Structure 1
Amino acid sequence: MNITLEQSIQNADGRYLTDSELDTLHVYIKTYEARLKTYTLLQEKSGEYILLALQKLAKTDAQTVQQHKDKCIRDMDYVVRSIAIAILRDDEEGFRQELLLWMQNIMVALHKEQQSSRAYRMLQEVVTQEMPKECSDLVNHYLDEFTKALLAGVA
């Protein structure tokens, strides 16, 4: 469940939720169908999307893809799964918390931010081409946030 909504419910402690707290629930319910559709598409096709993105990247950076393909696939799959869960939960804050931890422990330590950001930009292109607009907009919002954070070195 959405962290904000979850905290509101926990903090209610003997009272009813306020109108603004209920607004979060209304948005969560209203957008559920699109979020579930997006999650399902990522669950079914993320591997295909990642390979297409790496094929695009190989056109300009073949050596990097050849040397690091397995690690790229593993890392990109992790990010896409995190995005899928965040979309399903409608939980940007949870995504940021997970993203920050992962980036601090893995990506920044390896100093691969520039190469990785190019791969994620290619993934954004693939997502835009392959997914329905309502779904690609959701995914690309998170990919954009991830790429910006990656280049900044912090989430």
Structure 2
Amino acid sequence: MLNQLTKLSVEADGRYATDQELEFIKNYLQSVDLRVSSYEKIRDGEEKILDRTKKKMDMQNPNLFTRGSKNLSSIWRRDVMIILRCSVAAMLVNDLDWLRDSLLLWHRTIVNANKTQNISQATYNVMPEVLQEFLTTEELALILPVLQLNQSIIS
């Protein structure tokens, strides 16, 4: 949304924006209540969402977070919490470009360097299931494209 507004202000400089150019604002305003509701539910349920995601991942692969004698659970939790917060913020303002450019491309480098793509893949396979417990179908539809972007870039 922010990038789109910036682009519109540059393109429409000195003239009125066309109806077509204003369409993204109208669409955003129609979805703003759902975006805020989704944001608040994920914000308020963050601990439970992370706990349930980790539990499901452990059930699928009890050794997923083990690298030799090191347990990567706390690192995973910290990283996923940061990414979830930024993802939900991107969903709120409808700006996936910002998320991709400011966080995901950088985090992909970290994941690749630490060879934890399997953990990331498992996270984004499980998290949508967990979020179904917290969100309505309409709210979930707003965050799923963000999670799919995360998965496609990070995993």
* Preserved contact between residue 111 and residue 117 of structure 2 (Cα < 8 Å): yes
What code does the residue aligned with 2:55 have?
Q
1:100 aligns with 2:119: no
1: distance between equivalents of 2:100 and 2:20? 23
Structure showing the higher helix proportion among its residues:
1
Distance 2:135 2:107 in 1: 26
Q: Which residue, out of 72, 82, 95, partners 2:86?
A: 82
1:39 touches 1:88 (CA, 8 Å); kept in 2?
A: yes
Once residues 125 and 39 of structure 2 are traced to their aligned partners in structure 1, the CA distance between those partners, rounded to angstroms, is: 20
Whole-Å separation in 1 of the counterparts to 2:133 and 2:73: 22
**How far, CA to CA, are the matches of 1:42 and 1:4 in structure 2?**
25
Residue 77 of structure 2: aligned partner: 73
1:49 counterpart residue number:
49
3-state SS of paired residue (1:130): coil
For residues 32 and 150 of structure 2, the distance between their equivalents in structure 1, rounded to whole angstroms, comes to 22
In structure 1, how many angstroms separate the alpha carbons of the residues matched to 2:115 and 2:17?
45
Q: Assess if the C-alpha contact under 8 Å between 2:107 and 2:154 holds in 1.
A: no
Residue 6 (structure 1) aligns with? 6
Superposition CA RMSD, Å:
1.7
Q: Is the 8 A contact 2:65 2:119 kept in 1?
A: no
Identity of aligned residues (%): 22
CA-to-aligned-CA distance 1:15-61 (integer Å, 9 cap, x gap):
21122221111111111111111111111112210110000111122
Shift of 1:149: 2.1
Runs of 4+ aligned structure 1 residues displaced above 6 Å come to none
Task: Determine which of 110, 113, 117 is the counterpart of 2:117.
Answer: 113
Q: TM-score, normalised by structure 2?
A: 0.87
Going from structure 1 to structure 2, the CA distance change for 1:126 and 1:6 (only over 3 Å counts) comes to same
- Read off the aligned partner of 2:106 and give its amino acid letter: L
